[in-house]
Amino acid sequence: MNPGQLIFLNGAFVPKEAAVVSVYDHGLLYGDGVFEGIRAYDGNVFRLKPHIDRLYDSAKAILLEIPYSPAEMEEIVLETLRKNRLHSAYIRIVVSRGAGDLGLDPARCPRANVIVIAESLALYPKELYERGIRLVTVSTRRNRSDVLSPAIKSLNYLNNILAKLEAKNAGADEGLMLNADGYVTEATGENIFIVKHGALITPPPYVGILKGITRQAVMEIAAEDGIPVREDVLTLHDVYTADEVFLTGTAAEIVPVVAVDGRTIGDGRPGAMTLRLLEAFRRLAVTDGTKISPAVEDRVG
């Protein structure tokens, strides 16, 4: 019998319908909290520890105390997968400031809310990787690091959402965001890479990006394959004239980009290096990480 989806909420596993928090939660009222998105591949939680480390770094940056140790949080993620009988899944960890009052003062929130959700993976369509996607540069600029650091994976994603709305309204698949100086940062939920003269280039963290776990894995894969890799400031001209462009992210993995602002990238098809890196990444994703044990079976339904 299918028991229904179970959510970890503050120390207990509860049915999805019962996984509720107070309307006074500061995560709801002010976007006051942090989160992580993680993937499990065939019983392997890809780079679980780096994801947990980033979660705790984000929490520390906003003085949010998570009521579990990093090791305990890792086990909570694994147990959530086991409870739901999932070995390939998308996992979302949410840590909000918790319930307080209608004021801004976080000191009035005595304890953080911790939520872990795991559900069957909704794979991106195969044709998306075969035909590639089209980007448009949006007017919504990436948050400046001295205003709200993009390195903090916070619940306040309105900057990204406004950019996503703008891209969708323009008929594009994704939006490309620039910083206040006009340099390329990232897409609305993914990092960006270009390929030029056989080298792989991605914007450095200081221009205002989230240091993606998939981004780091791709850089390591490329370096091991003898591909020159560097972090460098990119302009739109660099993107327009690139031999290849692709995006990286937990959900998307590696997505080829075939056009940006009406400019065709390369020959208008996913590039050879992009596809090579995607194949290598998918091999890595099933081995590099933390195993879900004991073995679990895919949930039915």
| pLDDT computed for residue 3 by the predictor | 64
Residue 265 DSSP code: P
Residue 179 burial (10 A CB sphere; 0-12, 13-18, 19+): buried
Does pTM top 0.85 for this prediction? yes
Residue 122: predicted pLDDT: 77
Residue 301's pLDDT is 32
d(CA 33, CA 35): 7
Please state, in angstroms and rounded to a whole number, the distance separating the CA atoms of residues 270 and 224. Answer: 22
Provide the Cα torsion 169, 174, 178, 179; round to 10°.
90
Question: Which tokens sit at 246?
Answer: 């692709």
- The reported pLDDT for the residue numbered 81 is 98
Both tokens assigned to 11: 């120390």
Tens digits of residue pLDDT in 60-101 = 999 999 999 999 999 999 999 999 999 999 999 999 999 999
Q: Output phi, psi for 71, to 5 deg.
A: -65, -40
Domains detected in the chain:
6-122 (3.30.470.10), 126-285 (3.20.10.10)
Cα–Cα dist 176/217, whole Å? 21
Max CA pair span of the chain: 57
> According to the model, what pLDDT value does residue 207 have?
97
CA distances from 99 to 67, 95, 154, 222 (A): 14, 12, 17, 45
Task: For residues 249 and 108, give the distance between their C-alpha atoms in angstroms, rounded to a whole number.
Answer: 35
Rounded distance between C-alpha atoms, residue 24 and residue 14, angstroms: 20
Q: What is the pLDDT of residue 33?
A: 98
> Which residues are the active-site residues?
153
Residues 133 and 234: their CA atoms lie apart, in Å, by 20
Long-range contacts of 235-241 (CB under 8 A, 24+ apart): 235/182, 235/183, 235/184, 236/137, 236/178, 236/182, 236/184, 236/260, 236/261, 238/184, 238/194, 238/196, 238/201, 239/176, 239/184, 239/192, 239/194, 240/265, 241/196
Beta-bridge mates of residue 136: 175
pLDDT value, residue 124: 81
d(CA 66, CA 95): 7
Q: Strands of 113-120's sheet, edge to edge?
A: 12-15, 6-9, 113-120, 89-96, 33-41, 44-46, 289-291
Render each residue's pLDDT in the chain as its tens digit; 301 residues: 346 999 999 999 999 999 999 999 999 999 999 999 999 999 999 999 999 999 999 999 999 999 999 999 999 999 999 999 999 999 999 999 999 999 999 999 999 999 999 999 877 888 899 999 999 999 999 999 999 999 999 999 999 999 999 999 999 999 999 999 999 999 999 999 999 999 999 999 999 999 999 999 999 999 999 999 999 999 999 999 999 999 999 999 999 999 999 999 999 999 999 999 999 999 999 999 999 987 554 443 3
